[in-house]
Structure 1
């Protein structure tokens, strides 16, 4: 019996924890942005997180050929673009739950972007796309028949992350996950910190509370999250993992409602629900397998 077959529940539990950490990252980041410029915050966050993971990844990195290290860093530049759009979208966002659901569109766009690389999306993708677009349209209507800057930035981030996933599976497929993640975090941190030095005014001082939110985002939502995600993904299949990781947007909306007192209008709730429905349609084959694993035996009959 292989490792994946032996540890299904452990993988699911770790992945659920990862989604909660990722959702918490939205809260930590939004709180930190009160006292730090967005690019400076995200650059510092990724540099520190990459430095922490470097301690675990160094033995593997030393054995990597130089060309694979270069590829990992180059793909990190694409990661920088997607992350830059995300943090600027978060900076302008007035509703974290809505922004999280828009960003989750990146999961749906992965097979569509894959067409650039000669892949054919499954039929479920074409069924899910109009559902997702309808949901996004309702979110735009909530702003009065216009797309807000935060919504546009989050869409760009979603497209960037979808392209990143496609490139990762082709350009650096032979690089182990932990050193690859370390290289990309360091690349993102370096690029966005340099951009911050060029375009942002650094604060004279940062309050201790803001530093606390930065530390939480580094340790919990970056270093520990990615470490556990890599471990969990090694215990299950990528498609199974992607189904559980879709819950990040749901947790973000719920935590934001509790922490910030956010609430959704009928249009926002319907729009976010349609986007999540589109994700379920797109991954229905794997959603069904996850449900069969979780449901009692007699419920499957």
Structure 2
């Protein structure tokens, strides 16, 4: 009973994170109207890194207070935990590539295209890509994974190819490559799972800010008026999407089962469509909506084998 309550608690926390990530696509779409890809990502990453640094300082302060005077309630102050520099730099480089592709893809969609919704669902295909990659790494292909792959391909066809091959936007290609980037990022983060999650995230956003800043200086005109105009989207994605949502993910995954966590977090694609419809008045055609439903069903189906394995392990 206690485990079920913890799982529900974790799922609700992750649902909030998914909501923030989904609505962030609207902020990214709005920001793309004012500044370039690298300018937006530089500002967003700086805000995210500074916010997480503030969280680290507060945790350190809390650790010192609770361990001082009388009995120690913590083994060591938070600041003494190791900074995962190697993992943070590697994750930051991969995240830079994925975020750049995502933001650039959103920015080059033609007017009238539901950029937030399309980008949200195409990005969510990373869940299926992770499942495919696990097969390449030696895991047996579960029949449900095969069905999931077919469903994902069919959904992407309906979503991105309403006019045949001529109907594919360059933004669609960028968003799919972005999903590949996030797949690599997830697998890399998993490799460094034992490291301090908040410090790793702080480093990765700092690296992403540096790389984006260099590209911004060489490829874009720094427009401070545009940065001010995109202030709210930058703050939303920097503080809420990068900082708070990532922290919620760390907390939520401590309680929720991994398979359930993946499903809940994949709901960001649904929230991206709803937010685009409510805020930006984006509308998907019936064909595109059918494609969205197929992609989402494929994402959910890709998690079922892990859920079944978890259930069998618990009974065993």
TM-based fold match above 0.5: yes
Q: Is residue 87 of structure 1 aligned with residue 92 of structure 2?
A: no
Shift of residue 112, structure 1, vs aligned partner: 1.4
CA contact 1:111–1:125 (8 Å) conserved in 2: yes
Range with greater deviation from structure 2 (243-252 or 137-146): 137-146
CA distances 1:5-55 after superposition (whole Å, capped 9, x unpaired): 552332122111111111121111211222111111112101211111023
CA contact 2:43–2:209 (8 Å) conserved in 1: yes
Q: Give 2:68's aligned residue.
A: none
1:245-256 superposed matches below 5 A:
245-256=265-276
Q: Is residue 218 of structure 1 aligned with residue 242 of structure 2?
A: no
CA distances 1:60-85 after superposition (whole Å, capped 9, x unpaired): 565316xx412321222111111111
What secondary structure does 1:36 align onto? coil
What secondary structure does 1:101 align onto? helix
1:221-240 superposed matches below 5 A:
221-240=241-260
Consecutive unaligned residues of structure 1, counting only runs of 5 or more, are 290-301
How many matched pairs? 286
User: How has the CA–CA distance of structure 1 residues 236 and 140 changed in structure 2, closer, same or farther, with 3 Å as cutoff?
Assistant: closer
Q: Give 2:36's aligned residue.
A: 37
Range with greater deviation from structure 2 (197-206 or 224-233): 197-206
CA distances 1:166-186 after superposition (whole Å, capped 9, x unpaired): 22222x232122112212121
**What's the TM-score, normalizing by structure 1?**
0.87
Shift of residue 285, structure 1, vs aligned partner: 4.8
Q: Is residue 64 of structure 1 aligned with residue 82 of structure 2?
A: yes
CA contact 2:9–2:256 (8 Å) conserved in 1: no
Aligned alpha-carbon RMSD (Å): 2.4
CA distance in structure 2 between the partners assigned to 1:24 and 1:62 by the alignment: 36
2:171 counterpart (143, 150, 156): 150
Q: Give 1:175's aligned residue.
A: 195
User: How has the CA–CA distance of structure 1 residues 62 and 189 changed in structure 2, closer, same or farther, with 3 Å as cutoff?
Assistant: farther
Q: Is residue 257 of structure 1 aligned with residue 273 of structure 2?
A: no
Q: Is residue 53 of structure 1 aligned with residue 52 of structure 2?
A: yes
**What's the TM-score, normalizing by structure 2?**
0.83
Q: Is residue 12 of structure 1 aligned with residue 32 of structure 2?
A: no
